[in-house]
Amino acid sequence: MTRLLLTIQYVGTAYHGWQVQPNGVTVQERLQDAIEKVTGVRSGVIGCSRTDAGVHAKMFCCTLDTEYPLQGEKMAKALNAHLPKDIAVYKVREVAPDFHPRYQAVGKTYTYCIWNGKHRNPFYEDRALFISKTLDEGVMDKAAKGFCGTHDYKAFCSAGSDVEDTVRTVSECSVKREGDLVTVTVTANGFLYNMVRILVGTLLDIEAGRLPSDAIKQALDTTKRQDLGATAPPMGLYLEKVYY
């Protein structure tokens, strides 16, 4: 038995997130379908994270245990021949039998994209949050810096999470503009449920004057979710990179 690490990309618009569930089609299910068509066995795959419905991934890692002889580029091509156009495998390599894509990840980077033009951009439909009012990315970036460091991020976790340890270390949090595209980038050693989307919603509320400029610092001190803004919608969120 060989353990393979598959690195994939997907547009999450059509899926109910990564993990297999009974009430909707998921990325994991479609990947398992492709694996079964190639190998003849419906194998389980373990992912590096759980992405929500509508969230995208430019780099998502998962492991597959298989006795099938194909590896590397040949396995990637074989799987891609059976995957839908919005999911693709771009790297396959053998890893140690005890390698775990989630627990051995030392960090991840997420980006959140906002299309901040006067009119909708069809190329960013379901790929970015559309806001026509001109945003001050400088105000948002200044507020975002208060998110960095090692803190208890309990306030930035949606209800329903069963995680007990809510302390994380955020090494980067920035907001940049390139034309009409505003991007929030966050790198941390781990993320809580909806952590980035709550951050983005809070930054938008700070920029609009609905929350004070130090709202993030206050929430880190109080650990109260009600001190923050709304959870931003999923379509703008991308898992950008996984670090091992």
| One pLDDT digit (tens) per residue for the chain, 244 residues | 999 999 999 999 999 999 999 889 999 999 999 999 999 999 999 999 999 999 999 999 999 999 999 999 999 999 999 999 999 999 999 999 999 999 999 999 999 999 999 999 999 999 999 999 999 999 999 999 999 999 999 999 998 777 889 999 999 999 999 999 999 999 999 999 999 999 999 999 999 999 999 999 999 999 999 999 999 999 999 999 999 9
CATH of domain 2-95: 3.30.70.580
Give the pLDDT of residue 89: 98
Measured N-to-C along each axis, helices 27-39 and 72-80 cross at an angle, to the nearest 10 degrees, of 110
Spatial contact of 11 and 83, defined as CB atoms under 8 Å apart: no
Give this prediction's pTM.
0.95
**Residue type (1 letter), 175:** V
**Domain map (residue ranges) of the chain:** 2-95, 107-243
Residue 141 appears among annotated catalytic residues: no
Give the total residue count for the chain: 244
| Architecture of the domain whose range is 107-243 | 2-Layer Sandwich (3.30)
Q: Which two tokens stand for residue 29?
A: 């299910």
Q: Which of 33, 52, 180, 227 is catalytic?
A: 52
Domain 2-95 and domain 107-243 have a common topology: yes
**Residue type (1 letter), 57:** A
Give the pLDDT of residue 240: 98
What b-and-e string marks burial along 194-226, b requiring 16 or more CB atoms within 10 Å of the CB?
bbbbbbbbbbbbbbeeebeeebbeebbeeeebe
